[in-house]
Structure 1
């Protein structure tokens, strides 16, 4: 067989970001912020590469696509359908799409011009797969089998409504059979796995399961500037928010990859916006523009979610919900997504970017034992040495306490010191806290839950209205020692 050249383009964890926005870049002891992203720029990259490599481009979307911004959430992803179809992807898989419930995910998938793939989502009643496990496409004279693996944590760490009537597996036991079928029955030349398990999970998976020619990874927002090789399998992942496009060029001979080239393409001002997509995006946002552009306050320092233990953006959110609830303690989920907010005016659009789930605020009472147990469980879900046991985003966001922990310690024994108001947490004492939604404090912990009349966005509006210039500095609330 003559050498064949295939190009794979990847977007992962778009989170509903249609326009350019600030993005974090690491500098010398500090963060820099640059404007990146936008579907119009992504469309230009796709068109350019397809023109360079006619008939030889495979475009893949790892999911976390239709949720994360006001327009995405208010339309339950439907406003984005024409835009994503215009990019002409070949397949996608899923995660935060399930915020709208499985029935609506099916409707979104049916409206796409490309298939939604998942070998690990089952209907509880029938036991059948909810989505096709794979598809075969022909590019560059090659038959390519694409296998989808959705995020497995939807029914394990997210609200029950996300997984009503369906169950999720890791997919590692099913994957070998699907690879064998594609090779023996469908006679494919290459097998590409499109996964939303996360980079650490995908690396373990690639080490366990032979026969993966390329693994396109998502979920953990890693910027892989070079492919990570696990045995003979290259893995790529390309940041988040549409700030990067991954490009993987494969040279194939006799059904084997003989050369790999990779580029993490920054979607910045150097990329000219595609006029047609720019018009589509503007039309999609036009009905909401006046609402989204309302100025609600100011920030004096950058807000971001770029760090695992605590983040300036979440400290502002915690301050707002604590003020609304009249508590010192406050907890929210350790979300990874949410574009930075730079010093200056803050708009309603940016408030929704902070907390697009828009959950209610509740108060809860936790004993000292429950407080420690909840935080130990969260640390295990975040830093388990077994990637398959990692079940979430960043460390739970905390206000009003100080936690010092050893990341390398075994499960249940990481916290060395846990303080509230500078005093060690007392096992028998009860602590009242504010929390967001169902994930702020899981249902198994605490008592005396009371839902307030104010919700997350309203609390932020109130906080910005009463503060001349909000600051969200990092406070050393959670410290690895």
Structure 2
């Protein structure tokens, strides 16, 4: 009996399997979505012992760019790079260029889309407009409209469309809707702010019915909790790429049929979401995702991006390396209890303004200060905002209201100087403060005290409307300059926990 028919059948079966595999492969398309968020001007690599070993550095655009281009080479024409907003505000090298250095780097890295974050407004409308005008990628913002002309932010679009093979992708940008977290220069009162729910219910039908979008991606700066709420309120969202809450989502979260992702902050990670779409149904049939730690020792830097970074470092390094003082202890920020950095900065504004009490929001303190010389660059990383130091008169009753709100859990607490507060975090909201001492005397509800704080808080930022009752407001100087002055006059400083905020309840 001849063996030829047997071998021929094996060959034909192998060819059949090969062709079947190719046909199946052609029936789907695999798309890679890369994303970052809340970079806050972190252009250069930095140390973070929580994420990487002490000898290692993470982040940096020269390393991000290498990762992005690797993904684009492996899946040509099927990769989209997003950023979730809050791009620029946060470091000396970004702040001194009003974000243009960040735009240069994002252009070179090959970003496709970004949404407007609340801190992207920090330098005002004109500076934001200049950033947008220099971008080679598209800024999205669908829910902010000027009251005067009824227009979107100049240079932005409410949505965009992206075609990858036979798949039409609609992308909608949602800016932050919490007006309490916009800085004074944002002039956010000049805009109509529409909720994410009403905005998406308006635009998703337009994208699906008029533009025939197969897939809806929401690029959101609302925050994770708000993103989750959207899923239950708005049908038709396939993917939410989030930001604002700096949440590290290591694996994609699936809520109903919506995929939610977010990549922490400060360019520690590059988010990667791979989706497989059935070409006939135009539906996602598989997905997987991860956060890639931008660990410098494992990545070859992009030389062209490094050239841009070196250019900015050469221009601003001398100023950034200026030593303004030193600390003999680590100065640490902690959002929900007394901390050494908070005490020092509250002291600095109280002493500089020459007042009874200093109050500063923990959310404004952005980095720790290690032992040793304190440079201008470190101060910018700790307090990057252009907030003015304001002194104002507040009654004891108003101060009680403000301090009570500080422990409500809505935002990070206020750090204090001139006060000692006893509270119980286990009690109901608005009933947590037990005792307030002002310079070792009980707070008098009827007495008027002179208080130093940031203009952000004085205008009701973070929802502290009690500050808006203040009278006789006076500008003193930039808060950052007050911090610098304190280091210059008191170095070497040392951080101490002094029982200014004493919690008799369960610690968070």
One fold, TM greater than 0.5?
A: yes
Question: CA contact under 8 A between 2:119 and 2:183: conserved in structure 1?
Answer: no
Query: What RMSD over aligned residues (CA atoms) do the two structures have, in Å?
Result: 2.8
Tell me whether 1:395 sits opposite 2:422 in the alignment.
no
Show the 5 A alignment for 1:48-63. 48-63=70-85
Question: CA contact under 8 A between 2:169 and 2:215: conserved in structure 1?
Answer: yes
- CA change 1:160–1:353 in 2 (3 A) is closer
Question: CA contact under 8 A between 2:239 and 2:260: conserved in structure 1?
Answer: yes
Question: CA contact under 8 A between 1:6 and 1:140: conserved in structure 2?
Answer: no
- CA change 1:323–1:364 in 2 (3 A) is same
Unaligned stretches of 5+ in structure 2? Answer: 1-25, 461-466
Q: Give the corresponding residue for 1:193.
A: 218
Q: Give the corresponding residue for 1:449.
A: 473
Q: 1:422 offset after TM fit, Å?
A: 5.6
Give the SS at the match of 2:137.
coil
Tell me whether 1:469 sits opposite 2:492 in the alignment.
yes
Question: CA contact under 8 A between 2:122 and 2:182: conserved in structure 1?
Answer: no
- CA change 1:293–1:256 in 2 (3 A) is same
Q: 2:256 aligns with which of 231, 234, 244?
A: 231
Q: 1:293 offset after TM fit, Å?
A: 0.8
Deviates more, 1:252-261 or 1:463-472: 463-472
Relative to the length of structure 2, the TM-score reads 0.84
Q: Give the corresponding residue for 2:384.
A: 356
Please give the alpha-carbon distance, in whole angstroms, between the structure 1 residues aligned to 2:497 and 2:218. Answer: 38
Show the 5 A alignment for 1:4-403. 4-23=29-48, 25=50, 35-94=57-116, 95-130=118-153, 131-139=156-164, 141-154=166-179, 158-159=183-184, 161-163=186-188, 165-253=190-278, 254-269=281-296, 270-305=298-333, 307-327=335-355, 329-335=357-363, 338-378=366-406, 383=410, 394-399=412-417, 400-403=419-422
Q: 1:150 offset after TM fit, Å?
A: 0.6
Please give the alpha-carbon distance, in whole angstroms, between the structure 1 residues aligned to 2:292 and 2:331. Answer: 25
Question: CA contact under 8 A between 1:360 and 1:451: conserved in structure 2?
Answer: yes
- CA change 1:273–1:182 in 2 (3 A) is same
Q: 1:409 aligns with which of 428, 435, 440?
A: 428
Unaligned stretches of 5+ in structure 1? Answer: 384-392
Please give the alpha-carbon distance, in whole angstroms, between the structure 1 residues aligned to 2:230 and 2:500. Answer: 34
Question: CA contact under 8 A between 2:323 and 2:375: conserved in structure 1?
Answer: yes
Give the SS at the match of 2:160.
strand
Please give the alpha-carbon distance, in whole angstroms, between the structure 2 residues aligned to 1:225 and 1:289. Answer: 35
Deviations 1:374-426 (A, max 9, x none): 2344555x52xxxxxxxxx533333333252437735x445454444465533
Deviations 1:75-96 (A, max 9, x none): 2222332211112211111121
Question: CA contact under 8 A between 2:393 and 2:472: conserved in structure 1?
Answer: yes
Please give the alpha-carbon distance, in whole angstroms, between the structure 1 residues aligned to 2:188 and 2:222. Answer: 16
Q: Give the corresponding residue for 2:444.
A: 426
Please give the alpha-carbon distance, in whole angstroms, between the structure 1 residues aligned to 2:105 and 2:213. Answer: 30
Deviations 1:302-339 (A, max 9, x none): 33445344544333222222222234521123326634
Q: 1:371 offset after TM fit, Å?
A: 1.0
Question: CA contact under 8 A between 2:123 and 2:185: conserved in structure 1?
Answer: no
Deviates more, 1:360-369 or 1:43-52: 360-369
Q: 1:365 offset after TM fit, Å?
A: 2.5
Tell me whether 1:3 sits opposite 2:31 in the alignment.
no
Question: CA contact under 8 A between 1:224 and 1:238: conserved in structure 2?
Answer: yes
Question: CA contact under 8 A between 2:32 and 2:78: conserved in structure 1?
Answer: yes
Please give the alpha-carbon distance, in whole angstroms, between the structure 2 residues aligned to 1:314 and 1:39. Answer: 30
Give the SS at the match of 2:292.
strand
- CA change 1:209–1:396 in 2 (3 A) is farther
Relative to the length of structure 1, the TM-score reads 0.88
Structure ID, larger Rg? 2
Question: CA contact under 8 A between 2:33 and 2:272: conserved in structure 1?
Answer: yes
Give the SS at the match of 1:462.
helix
